[in-house]
Amino acid sequence: EAQVTQNPRYLITVTGKKLTVTCSQNMNHEYMSWYRQDPGLGLRQIYYSMNVEVTDKGDVPEGYKVSRKEKRNFPLILESPSPNQTSLYFCASRLTNGDTQYFGPGTRLTVL
Amino acid sequence: GQSLEQPSEVTAVEGAIVQINCTYQTSGFYGLSWYQQHDGGAPTFLSYNALDGLEETGRFSSFLSRSDSYGYLLLQELQMKDSASYFCAVSDDSWGKFQFGAGTQVVVTP
């Protein structure tokens, strides 16, 4: 089944404890992206990657890191999480010239 | 930068037609997309417009006017399952950087 998977789906952590949210897609998509969703603010793009080893900042990259070493994986790294990073996170992928972004199921992160 | 405006909520009865408007201000523009999101779920793609005009996909249609920086999503023959949030999204010239509107909550009543 063609899909985007994220792990973990739920995470409660404490301020300053480094964490990684994984994202993987099995559709051979070149483009991948991370978003965060907060009430009343819609989806805001954190980072995106047009292909392997190519990443760019979205609108809210502060406090996050990404890497794209393989085509299928695009992990999101929070080196020192803070409470303002408590949010619902979505990973998405699409073909380079495709119009459809396919979203993962989301990761609900709480930073205490 | 980019900014998008869409109404926060629309209520309509089953079988009715709903239009969700989206106006945008961008420093570069590649296309306007629409996504649907049910409570607790992931956004799913509905429609995309790169050129002016109407795109029809079943009960859903989307329109774009590049000169007016305006688009809309038209939901016809509303069904209860259409109760969800709808987001417009624009991309800059790179087709990589996206910005989403805050979303429109559509409530369908019997």
How far away is chain B from the Cα of A79, in angstroms, using its nearest Cα? 23
Q: Which residues of B touch A102 (CB under 8 A)?
A: 45
Residue B1 has pLDDT above 60, yes or no: no
DSSP assignment letter at B89? E
Contact B45 A42 (CB under 8 A): no
Per residue in B21-79, pLDDT (tens digit) is 999 998 888 899 999 999 989 999 999 999 999 999 899 999 999 999 999 999 999 99
Looking at chain A, how many residues does it have? Answer: 112
- Does A43 contact B97 at a Cβ distance shorter than 8 Å? no
Using CB atoms, pick whichever of B33, B94, B102 lies closest to residue A42: B102
Cβ distance of A43 and B43 shorter than 8 Å: yes
Q: Phi first, then psi: give them for residue B82, nearest 5 degrees.
A: -80, -5
Nearest to A35 by CA among A18, A48, A22, A54: A48
- Rounded distance between C-alpha atoms, residue B1 and residue A56, angstroms: 15
Residue with tokens 């997309």: B33
Of A56, A59, A100, the CB nearest to B99: A59
Nearest to A103 by CA among B40, B50, B105, B12: B40
Give the residue from A73, A2, A74, A64 showing the smallest Cα distance to A36: A64
Query: Which two tokens mark B84?
Result: 């969800």
Q: Which of B4, B37, B49 to mutate to test the interface with A (most CBs of A within 10 A)?
A: B37
**8 A C-beta contact, residue B17 and residue B73:** no
A99 to B96: CB separation less than 8 angstroms, yes or no? no
- B93 pLDDT tier (thresholds 50, 70, 90): confident
A43-64, pLDDT tens digit by residue? 999 999 999 999 999 999 999 9
Q: What angle do CA A81, A104, A66 make, to 5 degrees?
A: 40
**Residue A96 binned pLDDT confidence (cut-offs 50, 70, 90):** confident
**What amino acid occupies position A48?**
Y
